[in-house]
Structure 1
Amino acid sequence: MQNTSTKVWVFILSSSLAFLVLGYQFGERLGLMIGFFFALLLNFMVFFYGESRVLAKLNAKRLKGQDAWGVLNLVERLSAELGVPVPAVYLIPSPAANAFAVGHSWRRGALGFTQGLLQTLEPEELEAAVAHQLCHIRRLDTFAFGVSSTLANSVVGLGQFLDSFLPYRLQFFMPLFSPLGWLIIKTVVGEKSFFENDLMASQLVGDRHKLGEALWRLEGLAQTKPLVIPACTSHLFMVNPEGIKQRNLFLKSHPPIEIRIQKLMGYYPI
């Protein structure tokens, strides 16, 4: 956990210094000021924009008051067991079944659950899904995942912007920039993060099979009902939300579900 956070801070610092150095090389004092502006813009996007971007794009609404699924009570109880402040809970109006967590610290965490997940999972599976997302906050994965998502999205967005100037809807820059976005995510988000979080969540609920069955069901549902998400955010979700419709293989971030479940349960359900 500390190693991942350290890599994130090093990455942010290196990116900011790169803007300053490049700005000075190309424009001396004026370039240095421009580079400083872009460094500030980068840090603003990383720490304030990325989290709200995901919630806004998914039309997430804060879940308060009446809660037919009992998810608020689950979040409160499991948060107390983990020793973290109770995060905000958001409902995504989508028939797809998935969950995600965002937040740059334990105190500013937020969990998102699709309506399809809450209506589909059994109570024990729902408990495992809630525990899984809370563990991401406890491990500060949400900080590392969120930073990498914002940086990668900026790179891919730049490619899309440049391609918009090309005639006949040609795509030249996106194929060049997408691997860079994938590299940014992979530099921070390793498969080990998913495996360790799966194990921690299973220990929290006291049964590896509960979580394994929830992962297996959600993966199957994602294939039939994928979720439309912002670019470079699939690694924020419990399982790959785009399913087989994920077009850009460079931005595939989840390890195969078969490997995740085998490492967790010792076998893969057939």
Structure 2
Amino acid sequence: MRKNRGSVRVVGASMMVALVVAGAGACSSDKKKDDAAPAAASAAATSKGPEAFSAAGYRGLKPGITKDAALAGGTLETAPVSLLDGCTDFSYKGGPAPDKVRMDAEAATEAKFKDLNGKADAAAAKQPGAVPTLPPNASAADSANIAAQAAGSAQNSAADAKLMADAAQSSVDMLTARETRNKAFATSGRVSFATSGLRELVAPADARTAEGIGVGSTADAVQAAYGSKGLVKDKYGSFTLPVEGQPGWTYEFTVTDAKVTGLTLANRTLKCTA
């Protein structure tokens, strides 16, 4: 529709125009042919209107396309602009160049997230034994031993509690990293690939669905256009819409202050890493 079908149509129109101009060229100069062809091709493209953002294909990209096929099509810049979450993201042609500072920060945040959460999971899986009860006839040595066990258990609990807190903070940091990346491409859009192919197609700010919905549209307009087609509203006021004929794929309308601020076609079931 918090990444060329139209291009193919334009190319086809351009070829037809070129043939017409070539035929007329027998009676005119080469300069007139050179001038007429681009102008006629431009007029043909304009008459078709802007390409709709949809699962049927946007700039030659649609569900099922692989990363290699997408890059070969010339729609995308070839250098990744994000590797966050294990996916590989690219800009549309002419979009923002890779930001090394942001990408390095993403890598560091993700590495810390994986390390801390791995340790937290391991700690949670442990089932420490209870500190034994001191028997009535316990010796001083027995008392000292049990006291040491109790102290060790308390220290372990404190360490685990800190680990859990650090892991939780790392999760917040990952969310912040994703938001920072998303804001960097809010205007230009981006395209994200999992191991099996296209996973997320984020629309540029000027893109519109066939029904005319895009960034700046009202929540009421989204409801009116898709309310009878399975539109689901979440607790934050944003919407999702299942893509007919494409299991797992949904349109996502991010809404802020009752207006659409983001438009995405995504399949969140696809894994970014093997």
Return the TM-score normalized by structure 2: 0.26
Larger RCO (CA within 8 A; separation ≥ 6): 2
Q: Which has the larger radius of gyration?
A: 2
Higher helix share: 1
Higher strand share: 2
